[in-house]
Structure 1
């Protein structure tokens, strides 16, 4: 077997093409310039065919960056047949390894950004997120969260008129004194599990189980003040950026949350979220200051925690307030110690209003 022809040679050190003549026999591929000077002599066992596109064949040698390109149709056909019959010839494995290395490096870079970059930047990014975008995130996640809380069903919103009026009387002074950077909305849902949580965008959800569990309106006010702390600090948005990273950033860039995988991710992230001790301490401190500011007993939140937790593990389970807002002895002691200051005379709600609020889901 001997195949002769002409092609273009690249020495691997520069991009300059060199017109050459070549000859392939059973032992080697010899390549010479048009003056007859030999440029390369490659053993057949070391040859490999690299991708070159239709109508062209590209031949290289293991361990070298040089290559030979041939475009003459008849010669391409003959070389293709000859090299296919040579067991030692394969694809451009070095190129594949090189591309694979680039891909792995890119994946590693993205992973590092997700794991380290976005979480570290979350505190700085959160104040830059437009309120309108955060509102969309919260609204997109709300149906999934409420559905999970109610066992896959759509829970009823509790809107008994007298109860709604009583709820506003309880929460309006706290909202007014909180100075939240975004509008605050409050809803009560007919769910047995004692719970309260603040979604990104300023939506605070209270459950029927929580309202029934606490003994006094001041305790419910303490829980609500704590959730207002999360709203003011935008903890929900910050937690999303730390946990979901680039997916949230991409959603913010394209403005698409509803009906997309981003919405599902947001909901799942919020469902699985559990605030850190530092975040909880800051929300507790905010609740203490806020309750004091309106002349109410700041230790009421501690009493609420005792009321919610007195039934033990039954209530400290999946998506209970205690599981998503970890309670420690240090925390309850600090809340109890906050009591005893000047408090406004009389209850925060009249007995009739408290009874109406207790019945808001009926």
Structure 2
């Protein structure tokens, strides 16, 4: 049993400040899948913080104060000793599980590395990539995705943050991909591609898309299409293809990938059109999610002048589960205006 498994049902109160210029509010804190979940009094998620990226602002002091990043854009104060001890233990366990240079045994045995290298000579570079993709842990993927997002924000503007809107984004992800999904939607001021799926379960969404949409169903379609465009392949794969064999082998053996490679990947993703899913695969994805695809087609046509050909929409005009309430939709639309 891992440290996270032991504390998965642990909850406590806390004080959360969503932005430096906002008042603190009472919240409930619990553990998710490698995340710290911050929720309101009726258990609606307000934010998900990556446990591996969590920073303690006052080490050794009580109450403990945490931030989700080095900029300390948000703060969380916890007075419960049990929860503090649990967070510290989980953070230490995750840190130990992350690969470190010189500790090759944490990734793979020396024998398998030798075999992989030998096969790479005769079996094409794809063998090395497949081996690397197979063993990169979720925490490392989340770290890579967060680094790429940081580079992307220099071009798109910073991620928009608002507690109610972030909760609505979580509700949108759950409606599209199912309850308990590890995928996390973030909104930036300008993203020409509309929506992009990144390593670590990130989906980046354009605020302008929210303003242009008549209803949340069309936006849900964009979110679904961005993920379906990389379905069947690892979102980390294009990063490694661009990085080359040396960087791929470095990630395999040390767990590190140069930041300049991730910056170059971010620049290339922003310079290229969004990847597109096969029409048949995307049509089936809409059916699995019980979403009509007609609103997505109309919005795509408005933005690009080209309407995706998905055939007849069997759900057009049929009743389906709502994507968001009116208040949630309004909050999400205005996430970058607050």
TM-score (ref. length: structure 2):
0.53
From 285, 292, 297, the counterpart of 2:287: 292
Q: Counterparts of 1:197 and 1:208 in 2: how far apart (Å)?
A: 13
Q: Which residue in the other structure is 1:30 paired with?
A: none
CA drift at 1:132: 2.9
Query: How much is the aligned-residue C-alpha RMSD, in angstroms?
Result: 3.5
- Secondary structure of the residue aligned to 2:200 is coil
- Secondary structure of the residue aligned to 1:339 is coil
Q: Which residue in the other structure is 1:186 paired with?
A: 185
Q: Does the CA-based 8 Å contact 2:230-2:277 persist in structure 1?
A: no
CA drift at 1:240: 1.5
CA drift at 1:341: 3.1
CA drift at 1:349: 2.7
- Secondary structure of the residue aligned to 1:117 is coil
Q: Counterparts of 1:127 and 1:338 in 2: how far apart (Å)?
A: 38
Q: How does 1:55-134 map to 2 (within 5 A)?
A: 117-119=124-126, 122=129, 125-134=132-141
What per-residue deviation string (whole Å, max 9, x for no partner) do you get for residues 105-157 of structure 1?
xxxxx9xx79x93357645653443323322221222211221334xxxx2x3
Q: Which residue in the other structure is 2:152 paired with?
A: 145
From 170, 177, 180, the counterpart of 2:172: 170
Q: Does the CA-based 8 Å contact 1:193-1:210 persist in structure 2?
A: no
Q: How does 1:1-362 map to 2 (within 5 A)?
A: 117-119=124-126, 122=129, 125-150=132-157, 155=158, 157-176=159-178, 183-191=182-190, 193=192, 195-230=194-229, 232-246=231-245, 247-257=247-257, 262-273=258-269, 280-282=276-278, 285-310=280-305, 332-333=308-309, 335=310, 337-341=311-315, 343-345=318-320, 347-361=322-336, 362=338
- Secondary structure of the residue aligned to 1:281 is coil
Change (3 A) 1:122 1:286: farther
Q: Does the CA-based 8 Å contact 1:145-1:271 persist in structure 2?
A: yes
Q: Does the CA-based 8 Å contact 1:144-1:267 persist in structure 2?
A: yes
Change (3 A) 1:166 1:134: closer
CA drift at 1:237: 0.9
CA drift at 1:281: 2.5
- Secondary structure of the residue aligned to 2:205 is strand
Q: Counterparts of 2:273 and 2:330 in 1: how far apart (Å)?
A: 35
CA drift at 1:304: 2.6
Q: Does the CA-based 8 Å contact 1:194-1:210 persist in structure 2?
A: no
Q: Counterparts of 1:126 and 1:275 in 2: how far apart (Å)?
A: 24
CA drift at 1:293: 2.1
Q: Counterparts of 1:293 and 1:245 in 2: how far apart (Å)?
A: 36
CA drift at 1:230: 4.8
TM-score (ref. length: structure 1):
0.50
Change (3 A) 1:139 1:304: same
- State the structure with more CA Rg: 1
CA drift at 1:218: 0.9
Q: Counterparts of 1:188 and 1:276 in 2: how far apart (Å)?
A: 18
Q: Counterparts of 1:168 and 1:292 in 2: how far apart (Å)?
A: 21
Q: Counterparts of 2:170 and 2:218 in 1: how far apart (Å)?
A: 15
CA drift at 1:235: 4.0
Gaps of 5+ in 2: 1-116
Q: Counterparts of 2:242 and 2:193 in 1: how far apart (Å)?
A: 25
